[in-house]
Amino acid sequence: MDFKIVKEMLKKILLVTFTAAVLACHAAPQPQQLVQGVSNIMPDEKQALVCKEIVALIENYNYKKIKVNDSISSLVLDKYIKELDPYKYYFQASDIKEFEKFRNSLDDDFRSGNLNAPFYIFNVYLKRYNEFINFAFTEIKAKQNFNANETYVFDREKMPWAKSKAELDDIWRKRIKYELVNLKIAGTAEAKNQETLTKRYQALKSQASKLNNQDVFQTIMDAFTETIDPHTNYFNPANAQQFNEDMARSFEGIGARLQLENEILKISEVVPGGPAFKSKLLSAGDRIIGVAQGDGEFEDIIGWRIENSVAKIKGPKGTKVRLKIIPVGKEMSSKPVIIELVREKIVMEDQSAKKKVQTIQSDGKPYKIGIITVPAFYADFKAANAGDPNYKSTTRDVRLLIDTLKRLDKVDAIVMDLRANGGGSLVEAIDLTGLFINKGPVVQVKDLKNEVEVSEDANPGVVWDGPLGVMVDRLSASASEIFAGAIQDYGRGIIMGTQTYGKGTVQSSIDMNKLVNPSILQKLAALVNKNGTIIKTGKEDVKLGQINLTMAKFYRVTGSSTQHKGVMPDIQFPSLYPMDKIGEDTEPSALPWDEVKKSDFAPVADLTPFKSELVKLHEQRMDKSPDYKIMVQDIAESKKRESEVSVPLNEAKLKVERDSLEAKNLARLNSLRASRGLAPVKKGDKIKKEDNFDFIQNESLKIMADFMQLANPKGKQFVKTTGEFK
């Protein structure tokens, strides 16, 4: 959303000449404290510049209007250490004591772009991590006594830091023993278990060796920004690209999903409709060992980090890429096949809104209900701004799905499934609401100046005027809460599920390159590294990343914020997710709940008279439902297991616990299968995809059938349209 404050901020910053920043590029950096026994990862000039700018943005434009001071420094230090070592497996008490010298200085360091302290802490962590990996290789081969009555504490969050290397070694020894006893209980031979675990730790060692200063900087900035508030986030260049591709639900490349397997890049899936698919030259399982741009030289990518390899394969549409392929089924020693592809824009349809139709019988009458699953509120802003008439967006996709549900499927009702939808574009939340209401306010936004702007659906008419339901859960957040809250406030539909996440803040995405004088980018581009080679070739190549800065709060049309409280469903289900661990109200740095003046809106209906009867009918079904009973039992069991922090290392005891749990779960599963007329399964059997049953969705459809019988017995429209929707 283009808030005036964002435009004013960018205009103001872009007019500034960054003399200090230019000087910083040439100033002699402070010496980095080195850690012996490890390849030290060092910060660079770009990161120093970005760090300073982030401090300035937070102090001047974050909604909290917070000063980065010693108190913030202390919180950042604690959060950073926790992010690196949450369960206290690596750092020793002596390390933590040494880090205390940084407690009140990180604020000053960040303001000046000095990242030496947090990089030093990371290098200490890396040393301890490598020590653990090397210890693991030795311990895996050691003789284990699986009859001893030992206990392994796997959740050490509330435990003290290890006081010595010997104490840490004992923790590591038990961890390796736990992994070995797990494999032994699974029934494989000792030699095979040692081989499996050795390969696992070789892979971990390989991953650690590929860590670079961008990884470290991302972790540092995560600790910093999340201390300010949970949703102000910095993205390094690679993560910024991924974020924007996810938002656009599209990218430019060859159309293949890739994964790393034993240091080799492997194709896991070929995306239908993309260049790889249309060429018929690539298949799932093929391995890519080399990449060339156009007619250029091949680069061997074996052993590369996956994001570096992917960056070489992706590229602007219309450009050519050549790949060296070892086809699936061929030995790695085989002669590679060279193929050539022209990159295209790939639309991620599998991650876009989808529909299906189910028929529910209620009192002998069939009801056809369309279910539209919306995984996120996405929009390809780049394509939209470029004037592409077919740009990708949630609202455009859903509108087409509704059209099909109306004309071809002829459904009686529609249910929008927003479970696990973490939000996205605020504009899309407003536009999507507009498909179901006939003009009017959708959400209110309060900016840094405490000015409230009412955002409206300005398009007259609706796309769907029939019965509507919305499914939510604890993971439904932000834009999902705007949509569900507006539908509820207007009386436009029934909300079903659990209390939502409670994210009531608005973030603006800011390209860090746009905040920096172009002359500085040119100077950064000209910097050389220790080997004397150019880091970058031009200012366009110097990417500084992106920050999503919390700059506003949104409120429902009633004036109530969704912050902390979220949206409370009309028909409630038990939460599958722990409410005390997931949600805005569990975040210590979250903004508080408040409210603003009610906006001028007119509800389309009063559904209150029907809600108590819907709850009653729902509860009557739940009293008789084996699915509901077992779901409640599963939630209770899960809560019980969450409180456990240790396991026995005695093979016999651990096996009894596992067998008992598996038997209990299998009995529950077969009880449910019997209630659906399905054959029982045995331990180890794979469940067919078609046998999976979404109980919460099925019950939500029954609630909609109840709703139609109670509120719409004569098939009347729920919303009167005025004018044509455009």
Q: Model-level pTM?
A: 0.87
Percent of residues, the chain, with pLDDT higher than 90: 71
pLDDT at 676: 83
Respond yes or no: is residue 503 known to be catalytic. Answer: yes
Lay out the sheet containing 413-417: strands in order across.
Answer: 354-362, 365-373, 413-417, 468-472, 494-497, 571-572
Residue 271 in contact with residue 346, Cβ under 8 Å?
A: yes
For the cut 60, the answer to whether the pLDDT of residue 519 exceeds it is yes
What pLDDT, on the 0 to 100 scale, is given for residue 715?
46
Mean pLDDT of 538-563: 87
In angstroms, the CA 124 to CA 146 distance is: 33
Q: What's the sign of the alpha-carbon dihedral 347, 348, 350, 351?
A: negative
Average pLDDT on 582-606 reads 94
Residue 28 binned pLDDT confidence (cut-offs 50, 70, 90): very low
End-to-end CA distance of the chain: 21
pLDDT tier for residue 401 given thresholds of 50, 70 and 90: very high
Amino acid at residue number 308? N
Q: Tell me which of 117 and 273 has the higher pLDDT.
A: 117
Which pLDDT score, from 0 to 100, does residue 565 have? 95
Percent of the chain residues topping a pLDDT of 70:
91
Strands 468-472, 337-342: pairing kind: unpaired
In this prediction, residue 467 carries a pLDDT of: 96
Report helix, strand or coil for 505. Answer: strand
- What pLDDT digit, counting tens, does each position of 217-232 carry? 999 999 999 999 999 9
Q: How far is CA 452 from CA 135, 162, 554, in A?
A: 59, 52, 9
In the block, tokens 């003290």 appear at: 160
Q: Are 335 and 327 in contact (CB under 8 A)?
A: no
Q: Which of 456, 462, 459, 416 is nearest to 435 (CA)?
A: 462
Q: Pull the structure tokens for residue 353.
A: 């809104």
The residue from 380, 473, 489, 627 that is catalytic is 489
Catalytic residue among 52, 174, 392, 503: 503
Question: What pLDDT is recorded for position 704?
Answer: 97
* Across 504-523, average pLDDT: 84
pLDDT reported for residue 599: 95
Residue 170 backbone class (left: φ over 0; alpha: ψ -120 to 50; beta: rest): alpha
Where in the chain is CATH 2.30.42.10? Answer: 250-347
The torsion of the CA quartet 431, 392, 544, 317, rounded to 10 degrees, works out to -160
Please give the radius of gyration of the chain, using alpha carbons only, rounded to the nearest integer: 28
Phi/psi for 404 (5° steps) reads: -70, -40
Show the CA angle centred on residue 77, arms to residues 73 and 81, nearest 5°: 170
Average pLDDT, stretch 55-74? Answer: 95
Q: Which amino acid is at 527?
A: L
Three-class SS state of 594: coil
Which candidate in 73, 455, 478, 700 is catalytic? Answer: 478
Look up residue 578 and give its amino acid. P
| Statement: residue 356 has pLDDT above 70 | yes
Whether the pLDDT of residue 362 is over 90: the answer is: no
Q: CA–CA separation, 266 vs 302, rounded Å? A: 11
User: pLDDT tier at 140 (50, 70, 90 boundaries)?
Assistant: very high
pLDDT band for position 73 (cuts 50, 70, 90): very high
Q: What six digits make up the tokens of 319? A: 């450009």
User: Is residue 168 very low, low, confident or very high in pLDDT (cuts 50, 70, 90)?
Assistant: very high
> Is pLDDT of 637 > 80?
yes
* DSSP SS3 for 293: strand
**What integer pLDDT is reported at residue 539 of this predicted model?**
40
pLDDT confidence tier of residue 370, bands split at 50, 70 and 90 = very high
Where in the chain do CATH 3.90.226.10 domains reside? Answer: 350-512+544-607
Using one digit for the tens of pLDDT, what is the confidence trace for 402-426? 999 999 999 999 999 999 999 999 9
Q: In the CATH scheme, what architecture does the domain 250-347 have? A: Roll (2.30)
Q: How confident is the model at residue 4 (pLDDT cuts 50, 70, 90)?
A: very low
Average pLDDT over residues 66-95: 97
**Residue range 114-142: mean pLDDT, rounded:** 96
Q: Please state which architecture CATH assigns to domain 350-512+544-607.
A: Alpha-Beta Complex (3.90)
Task: Kindly state the average pLDDT of the residues 432-459.
Answer: 94
Looking at every residue in the chain, the average pLDDT score rounds to: 88
